[in-house]
């Protein structure tokens, strides 16, 4: 039985209404159409919905498929539910809820066509979503769910890793490993997988950071990259471990060690106030100094929450600054066709004095002993 701290949606709704009432946002109302923002704000998990916030009113609009569900999921949040079957009537309900003042909407959360349609009846102003910004810093209730998702993935990896090293006697495919991981995560409390589980093997597939799992048989000499995460009450986890099947070559040992040194450096750099670019550089500089800059094909990490990829992002192009309460990955890797690849990824919550790692499955790329 789950005993998570309840998520206080009423406090979230109240905080935004207070900002509107104080005139701090420069608009008379806010419209949220991004379903992740809607869920964070109200608790509603349906696939069709919007929220209008005014100083005196908060309205969630959806269609009649979700009327009872919306009422149950938002109970106690202070949100009124409008559930209407026909799209035109639901649009008119949105216009009524928005009122006659200026309504702020994040243009990134809607299409140009939808914006034009709304603008016929609503005075729209483009504003950054304050919910998307607030979502970057996780509260205790959110961290509990992310930690539970991480634990489910850890437990699944603990059970599946020995099967991976047994492939020399009982051959497995990439798909076999993926299927076992996803089944076992659910057995350990996950509601679902967090994303398409990656099992990338051999000199070609493991050289692709986001390889799509196939039916390739895992054989001796392969490098193997397993990127796996679980989903618990909408919150994601994310972890990557890498392996060599059979006795590793000297090059495989050297490349894995370099990735491990890079990942350790990235975690050491993770604390409040550091720029996301600096975290990326801590990992990247290890590869540059060793002459492997062109083997590094992606950024160093990203935020995780109700989305598997959200701000902040560790990259050379990022303007983000790390804050206490961010939950982020640190995941450097090296890849080259003909060699394969390695990636090591942990998920960590940033604390006032540093960080705490949430993914605990051991890093044992060449070790066939599976005791904790």
Residues 84-133: pLDDT tens digits? 999 899 999 999 999 999 999 999 999 999 999 999 999 999 999 999 99
166 or 21, which is more confident? 21
Q: What is the dihedral of CA 124, 128, 134, 136, to 10 degrees?
A: 140
What is the rounded CA–CA span in Å between residue 308 and residue 280?
18
What is the rounded CA–CA span in Å between residue 273 and residue 352?
10
Confidence at 372, pLDDT banded by 50, 70, 90: very low
Confidence at 168, pLDDT banded by 50, 70, 90: low
What is the rounded CA–CA span in Å between residue 15 and residue 74?
16
Record the tokens describing residue 364, joined without a space: 């044992």
pLDDT at 370: 37
pLDDT at 286: 98
DSSP-H helix ranges across 166-270: 174-187, 202-205, 250-268
Residues 125-164: pLDDT tens digits? 999 999 999 999 999 999 999 999 999 999 999 999 998 8
Contacts of 90 (CB under 8 A, 6+ apart): 61, 62, 63, 82, 84
Confidence at 5, pLDDT banded by 50, 70, 90: very high
pLDDT at 367: 65
Domain range annotation of the chain: 9-134, 140-357
Whether the domain at 9-134 and the domain at 140-357 fall into the same CATH topology:
no
Q: Environment class of residue 3 by beta-carbon count within 10 Å: exposed (0-12), middle (13-18) or buried (19+)?
A: exposed
9-134 placed in CATH 3.40.350.10:
yes
140-357 placed in CATH 3.90.230.10:
yes
pLDDT at 333: 98
pLDDT at 165: 82
Please determine, for residue 74, whether its predicted confidence score (pLDDT) is greater than 70: yes
Count Cβ atoms below 10 Å from residue 169 Cβ, excluding itself: 6
pLDDT at 166: 76
pLDDT at 170: 72
What is the rounded CA–CA span in Å between residue 318 and residue 99?
37
């Amino acid at each position: 039985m789950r005993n998570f701290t309840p998520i206080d949606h009423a406090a979230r709704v109240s905080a935004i209404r207070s900002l509107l009432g104080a005139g701090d946002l420069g608009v008379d109302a806010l419209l949220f159409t991004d379903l992740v923002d809607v869920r964070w704000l109200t608790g509603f998990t349906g696939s069709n919905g919007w929220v209008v916030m005014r100083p005196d009113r908060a309205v969630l609009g959806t269609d009649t498929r979700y009327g009872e569900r919306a009422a149950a999921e938002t109970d106690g949040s202070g949100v009124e539910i409008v559930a209407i079957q026909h799209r035109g009537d639901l649009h008119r309900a949105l216009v009524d809820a928005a009122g006659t003042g200026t309504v702020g909407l994040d243009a990134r959360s809607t299409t140009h066509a939808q914006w034009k349609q709304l603008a016929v009846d609503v005075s729209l102003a483009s504003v950054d979503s304050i919910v998307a910004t607030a979502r970057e810093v996780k509260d205790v209730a959110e961290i509990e769910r992310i930690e539970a998702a991480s634990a489910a993935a850890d437990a699944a990896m603990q059970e599946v890793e020995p099967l991976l090293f047994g492939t020399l006697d009982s051959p497995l495919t990439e798909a076999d490993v993926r299927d076992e991981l996803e089944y076992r995560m659910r057995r350990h409390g996950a509601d679902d997988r967090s994303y398409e589980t990656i099992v990338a093997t051999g000199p070609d597939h493991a050289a692709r950071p986001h390889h799509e799992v196939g039916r390739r048989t895992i054989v001796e000499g392969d490098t193997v990259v397993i990127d796996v995460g679980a989903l618990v009450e909408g919150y994601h986890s994310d972890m990557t471990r890498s392996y060599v099947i059979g006795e590793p070559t000297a090059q495989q040992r050297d490349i894995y060690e370099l990735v491990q040194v890079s990942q350790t450096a990235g975690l050491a750099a993770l604390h409040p106030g550091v720029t996301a670019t600096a975290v990326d550089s801590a990992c990247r500089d290890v590869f540059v100094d060793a002459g492997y800059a062109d083997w590094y094909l992606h950024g160093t990490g990203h935020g995780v929450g109700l989305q598997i990829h959200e701000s902040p992002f560790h990259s050379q192009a990022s303007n983000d600054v790390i804050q206490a309460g961010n939950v982020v990955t640190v995941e450097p890797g090296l890849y080259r066709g003909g060699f394969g690849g390695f990636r090591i990824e942990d998920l960590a919550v940033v604390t006032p004095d540093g960080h705490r790692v949430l993914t605990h499955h051991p890093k044992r790329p060449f070790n066939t002993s599976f005791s904790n």
